[in-house]
A and B are shown apart, each in its own frame.
Chain A
Amino acid sequence: MTVLAVDRLGCALQGVPILQGISTRVGAGELVALVGPNGAGKSTLLRAMAGIQPGVQGQVQLDGRAVSGMGMRELAAARGYLAQASDAAWPVTVRYLVGLGRLPLRAFWQPATAGDAAAVERSMQQTDVHYLADRLVTTLSGGERLRAMLARVLAAEPLLILADEPLAALDPRHQLQTMQLLRAHCDAGGSAVVALHDLTLACRFCDRLLLLECGHAVIDDTPAVVMASGELERVYRVGFEPVSVDGRASVLPASVR
């Protein structure tokens, strides 16, 4: 079953093309890594998939319906979006911040229910921020804050997770935990598209890699095919060494070309 369908997507900002002719499908249970060098258009593509990027041409369909025709609230409940370098403006507690993720699911006069509170606690457990629940967000480290933001996305229990560099600023333990979490979300029938710079983790955990170069999709296939194609070396201008981690083939950036 196709959860997200992107067709001939293009985007230009002030006349400069950012994305051109992107088409891809993300099925239920699929974890897709969006990879490519800085400025390749990963964030813009994620925002377009989330339906919040202005100036987009082409079609984005979520669960068979055009994103442009869906109400913002409906969209918010169907897909979760984690922005790059999210921050909180006010010193609120982690629990409150995670609870904000539940807001799109109820009308504005409805108070939070026990179900809301349970979802908040569960997602804090999942991202390992439950012990920070009563801390003020403004006192957290970058990695802790990112995990709290990811918990906010998970709290809404979305079908599709769109995350822009969810591993930035995380220590190795939490990088692995986050990838395992996304993997588990997809294994349970959800889907996720994640912009990543860590190709080792991308090849290891993801079902597919979508490699972007200057707004074009270069290759969109399984890690094995992408690794064998030589496109990673060409696009990144980096030499990769094949490695095997935990029984899965992956790559390690080794030399500048």
Chain B
Amino acid sequence: MRTALRILPVLMALLVLLAAVLLWALDQGPMELPLWQALAAGLRGEQSLASIIVWEVRLPRALLAMLVGAALGLAGAAMQGFLRNPLADPGILGVSGSAALGAVLVLYFGLSHVGWYVLPLGGLLGALVSVLLILLLAGRGGSDIALVLAGLAVSSFAAALIALTLNLAKSPYAMSEMVHWMLGSVANRSMLHVQMVWPFLLLGSVMLLVGWRYLDVLTLGNETAHAMGYDPQRWRWWLVCGIALCVGAAVSVSGAIGFVGLMVPHLMRPLVGFRPGALMPASALAGAVLLLLADVLVQALPGKPLQLGVVTALLGAPFFFYLIIHHRRHFS
């Protein structure tokens, strides 16, 4: 975009927007609360019903929505920059499918009752296994195409194993528990969940953000990037690990929340331009705003509560239609 704005003002504006949406999200819920008093009471360490609801129910949920949204937005921008394709989704690496498989297996074997941490741990292990599998399949010197195909193979296999697990579910209740989890949600989570995933998300995000120069230079192709001092073999795995950490940790705690990673970079390009280096921080903040808004929407809708992943898919899939129509002339 020729009219791309400067990156810093956009990031500042997104931060302000995020803070405003966070306050709004904390104010939303089935119960009317004096938000400021509840926040202040919590800060003073007083235990009132209002402060417990705000600090221990609404805040963890909002924080998780923000963290997951940020991780997915960032991973999406990195993935699109890495493959130099605006239609790439971080899910194509197969990490989200494998993380979902890990969590579903935990539910299948009834291990989730051992402790709150077992379910996300299963997801993280699934993500780790998928990265090792992709590494093995694509090989160290493999091409980008080999990498994408390895991701596709891994995610297909994970989907098959999830289907098998659902098929063998011991009871309709167990099956519905797994399906429900896979739909994706940040409801009924505690601060412990936040504490469990944030180190992974932070590490993955830092890995992706320090890759900004490689991704910018990659605009000129692998060979030129290599000649300019960025070894594609080394950076490829660095970025795959960063994306896997972000997506794996996000899916582990929230289930599969699709299309955020695909959509958010597109929403940001008119504002910050096409260079992946600028797109990554903007997409992280915008992803946080978007998913938090979606989660508020989920809670505000009347009737049977919808899962967050259902809402993002309902919004995201038509957006994908639009993108394909918009970009189809480039494929010919």
A residues near B, CB below 8 A?
47, 50, 52, 54, 71-77, 80-81, 83, 86-93, 96-97, 100-101, 103-104, 108, 134, 136, 149, 152
Contacts and interface: CB of A to CB of B under 8 A. Distances in A.
Nearest to B231: A72
Given A86-B221, A86-B224, A100-B216, A92 B274 contact: yes
A91 B229 contact: no
Contacts of B231: 72
Given A52-B226, A90-B275, A97 B210 contact: no
A108 B2 contact: no
Contacts of A108: 210, 212-213
A25 to B, nearest CB: 22
B5 to A, nearest CB: 14
Q: Which 6 A-B pairs have the closest CB atoms?
A: A76-B229, A89-B84, A81-B227, A90-B274, A72-B229, A73-B229
A89 B231 CA distance: 18
Contact of B213 (A50, A90, A97, A103): A103
B82 to A, nearest CB: 10
Given A100-B220, A103-B217, A92 B273 contact: yes
B223 A52 contact: yes
A157 to B, nearest CB: 14
Which interface residue of B210, B218, B227, B229 has the most chain A CB atoms within 10 A? B227
Nearest to B330: A138
Interface size of B as a range: 20 to 34
B228 interface: yes
B220 A72 contact: no
B220 A97 contact: yes
30 contacts: A52-B223, A54-B141, A72-B230, A72-B231, A75-B229, A76-B228, A76-B229, A77-B229, A83-B220, A83-B224, A83-B227, A87-B221, A88-B219, A88-B220, A89-B221, A90-B219, A90-B275, A92-B219, A92-B274, A93-B2, A96-B275, A97-B219, A97-B220, A100-B217, A100-B219, A101-B228, A103-B213, A104-B228, A108-B210, A136-B2
Interface string B149-161: 0000000000000
B136 interface: no
Contacts of B49: none
A74 B141 CA distance: 23
Contacts, number: 72
A145 to B, nearest CB: 11
Given A96-B275, A103-B213, A89 B229 contact: no
A51 B300 CA distance: 59
Interface string B203-240: 00000001011001111110110111111000000000
Contacts of B2: 93, 134, 136
Nearest to A88: B219
A82 to B, nearest CB: 8
B220 A152 contact: yes
Contacts of A100: 216-217, 219-220, 228
Interface in B23-42: none
A74 to B, nearest CB: 8
Given A92-B273, A103-B213, A108-B213, A76 B227 contact: yes
A195 to B, nearest CB: 14
A134 B3 CA distance: 10
Best-buried of B141, B217, B220, B226 by chain A (most CB within 10 Å): B220
A97 B231 CA distance: 19
B275 A92 contact: yes
Nearest to B232: A52
B145 interface: no
Given A52-B223, A83-B224, A97-B219, 8 more contacts: A72-B229, A72-B231, A77-B229, A88-B220, A92-B219, A100-B220, A103-B213, A103-B217
